[in-house]
Chain A
Amino acid sequence: MAMRTAAGTKPLAARRKRSRRPWGAIALFLGPVMVYYAIFVIYPLFATFYYSLHNISPVAGKVVTTFVGLQNFKDLFSDKIFIRAVRNTATWGIAGPTLEMITATTLAFVVYFRVPLYRFYRTAWFTPFLVTGVIVGLVFRWMFNVDWGLLNATLRLIGLDTLALNWLGRKDTPLWVVIIVHWWATFGYSFILLLAGLTAIPHELVEAAYIDGASTVQAALRVLLPLLRPTFVTVLILSFMGKMRAFDVVWVLTHGGPMHFSETVATYVQKRAFGWGSLDLGYPSAMAVIWFGVVMVSVGLITRLLQSRMEY
């Protein structure tokens, strides 16, 4: 587990002063990856910031770019759909990781203590993470179908007809369906990461606690949990960022609907940029910029609050 950052660690041998660096070889190995990265990642990143200050739309077959200053950002604050999208995504960003961390940590402990069938659980719980969000979205769209979905069929079977709601067609439930379904699709990943963190803790510590008379639960909560903290914070941040950028599950499951009740920033950016035929790429870029800022600040806050360092 304890892996060192590759660059930056220099074995002693390397510190010996070299008369000549193999610049040709350095360029050969690092050149392609950095050039590729600059073209396809760094340039688009800066271009998004540039776009956000412009109005970019096709006029008579050509793309015309007009400078509009901060107008896009001003418009965002009076865009009711954007505000709803922000509120939804924020709700998700709080509820989603909370749910995920509680369940994934509990499950990681269960497998760590090697209860019967733990290998089977480990394989089964991770499986949902492997399939595309499109499959997840479609299957759950059917599961939650008001007439023949498995959920409502079950509710009717056990006599709870009143609970058999139109889950995806109301104003209050769709966002929560999205949150639960996305949890289903990703908790396995958090679980696996936390399990790896637990496994990296020397087991002797737990055995020592047993000798001192601790119960299994005490060993888990008092010995393992504090030591798991750095991994926990990393997984929490990954989970949070995952919810902030999640696109595919929402897009297929509810498409942000009905009436934007489950709209998220990611789906709204997509609709404004490519969906509505409005074809102004400046406005959605401004959204992306704002949201990027919000996510960075939130990640900073989480890190600061939990007093642990995030490596990247």
Chain B
Amino acid sequence: MTSTVSSIRTRPGWTIWARRITMTLLTVVLLAFTLVVIVPFIWMLLMSVRTTGEILNNPYGLPKVIRWQNYVNLMIDPQIRFYRYFYNSAFVAFFALLFSTILATMGGYGFGRSRYDFKFRGILFSLLLFALMLPRQIMYIPQFVMMARYGLLNTRWSLVLLYTALQLPVSTYLMATYFSQLPSEMEDAARIDGCNDWRMFWQVMLPLARPALATIVLINFMVFWKELLLAVTMVTEPAMRTLPVAMMNFVGEHGSDYAMAAASLVTSMVPVLILYLVLSDRFVEGLTAGALKG
């Protein structure tokens, strides 16, 4: 057999033929399953470069000519100007990332390092983690009233504030875990040199926590880019919509131009998909660490 044998974890000692036959059958089944899983993506891509007429007549057909026109129209058509929603989503994601990262790294440092331990810290931390069990539905009605009271409805800032709150518990938890695992020698050395707490955090410990920082930024970006419930509730003004809401309303407002709608879906998922393909290990690491504790 080839050199891949060592990486295979099935029982050794099969005959070569038994192994080959089993693996071939398994591969056929798994490839078929994988095809079913990714077919919606492929179909969406194909739809986006055809015309709506072609799609309706022949759902299966490959595009006769690849029509980039759908993508061009999506961006330059004065009725659509899809880039506005990109801007809104990017704006919300950027500031929510900024706020949640600042709060979570500081909180994570305070919760993670033994120097800042005090009697009720554990209870406070549990209180924070309790939020991981709360569905959004149990909070978002008063959140709406709150935004209405302060005149933040139909602004991007309402989403910035609420998205920050949404991801704060899990981000703080991840940072706290990471900070608690860093050794304290550096800290001690720096303290002897007269370093105060803030500089300790900012110049010594935070640079060491860069991997965890990257993880929470990545995961939070994905969550902010995907979110619908709050986006559809807090923002009803068309010009302020984020991508998910804009896509949802696209089909209704622009007739049944399915090809163009498909192009909008493809465009909007590009950023997250690229990040995932480049940094998939970090994604997986962050999502598993946030969910499984032991």
Residues of A within 8 A of B (CB): 1-11, 13-14, 21-22, 24-26, 28-30, 32-34, 36-37, 40-45, 47-48, 51, 63, 110, 112-117, 120-121, 123-128, 130-140, 142-143, 147-150, 153, 157, 184, 189, 192-193, 196-197, 203, 206, 210, 214-216, 219, 230-231, 234-235, 238, 241, 244-245, 247-248, 251-252, 265-266, 269-270, 273-274, 281, 284-285, 288-289, 291-292, 295-296, 299, 311-312
Contacts and interface: CB of A to CB of B under 8 A. Distances in A.
Nearest to A15: B114
Given A6-B179, A11-B114, A197 B197 contact: no
Given A32-B102, A116-B4, A132-B226, 13 more contacts: A10-B114, A26-B116, A29-B116, A33-B104, A33-B107, A33-B128, A44-B140, A48-B142, A121-B34, A150-B39, A235-B292, A288-B135, A312-B126
Nearest to B133: A312
27 contacts: A3-B181, A8-B122, A25-B197, A28-B110, A28-B197, A29-B107, A29-B197, A30-B116, A33-B104, A33-B107, A33-B128, A37-B127, A37-B168, A47-B141, A48-B141, A115-B8, A116-B27, A123-B277, A130-B222, A130-B272, A133-B226, A139-B40, A149-B59, A153-B60, A192-B287, A231-B292, A270-B232
A29 B142 contact: no
Contacts of B248: 134, 137-138, 251-252
A292 B121 CA distance: 27
Nearest to A215: B11
A245 B177 contact: no
B106 interface: yes
Contacts of A196: 284, 288, 292
Contacts of B143: 40, 44
Interface of B: 4, 7-13, 23, 26-27, 30-31, 34, 37-41, 43-44, 47, 55-57, 59-60, 102-104, 106-112, 114-118, 121-122, 124-146, 161-162, 164-165, 168-169, 172-173, 176-177, 179-181, 184, 197-198, 201, 222, 225-229, 232-233, 243-245, 247-248, 251, 258, 261, 265, 268-269, 272-273, 276-277, 280, 284, 287-289, 291-294
